[in-house]
Amino acid sequence: MISGKNYIGNKLKASGSVTHKTINPKLNNKNTSHFFEAKVEEVNHAVELASKAFKLYKNVSGKQKAAFLNTIVDEILTLDSELTVMFALESGLPEGRAQGESIETIGQLRSFTDQILKEDWRNNSIDEAISNRSRLAKSDIRKTSILLGPVSFQNFSQNLLTSELKNNNPLNIERNINGITIREGDSLFNK
């Protein structure tokens, strides 16, 4: 059931009094559902909770992550016609397109689940130490990829994002450019 409230952690919240209605572009009129605009405090609290959740979630087993993604699939399947109708009302596109989008999303989530369970995506490597090397001793180097999962920061205005999210890179996202590690937020990251 679509309530128009915001999920903050695992609770539905609607502290603000400002609401919005979506527009059906096909009929050029407002839809009946009201959606509550999150207050700045709610957005900040959501970001704090997401940051804390990530610190726990990154250590959860692949089996548990797969179960979590399968639960999302189950919820999409449970919403079925309600989701299809809302998609059509908000996009102006036919219900068949909505069903196709749901099928594609479910397929992507299941594919991601399969990859998680295989664990070969981690690209584990161990470069063993050589302590008796004639020049400088070589230390043991171990590398593994960690799962971030899908991350989206859509529809947030810059002034609503907390300074932690804008400046401190809570997900520790990095890129390697010509052997130099660039952290998200560094000026070279987007080049």
- Identify the pLDDT of residue 76: 92
- Identify the pLDDT of residue 2: 77
d(CA 41, CA 52): 17
Pick the residue with more confidence: 49 or 137? 49
Q: Give residue 152's Cα distance to chain centre.
A: 5
Nearest Cα neighbor of 59 from 146, 171, 126 is 146
- Identify the pLDDT of residue 171: 47
- Percentage of the chain exceeding pLDDT 90: 36
- Identify the pLDDT of residue 146: 66
d(CA 59, CA 54): 9
At 9-54, the pLDDT tens digits run 989 999 999 999 988 898 899 999 899 999 999 999 999 998 898 8
At 142-169, the pLDDT tens digits run 887 765 554 444 333 444 444 444 454 4
- Identify the pLDDT of residue 142: 80
Q: Which helix (H) or strand (E) holds 31?
A: strand 29-36
Distances (CA, A) of 73 to 87, 126, 149: 17, 36, 15
- Identify the pLDDT of residue 178: 45
At 92-104, the pLDDT tens digits run 999 999 999 999 9
CA-CA-CA-CA torsion for 145, 108, 12, 35, nearest 10 degrees?
Answer: 130
Q: Tell me 104's DSSP state.
A: H
Q: To the nearest whole number, what is the mean pLDDT of the chain?
A: 78
At 109-132, the pLDDT tens digits run 998 898 888 877 777 788 888 888
- Identify the pLDDT of residue 77: 94
At 164-189, the pLDDT tens digits run 444 544 444 444 444 444 444 444 44
- Percentage of the chain exceeding pLDDT 70: 75
Q: Are 44 and 162 in contact (CB under 8 A)?
A: yes
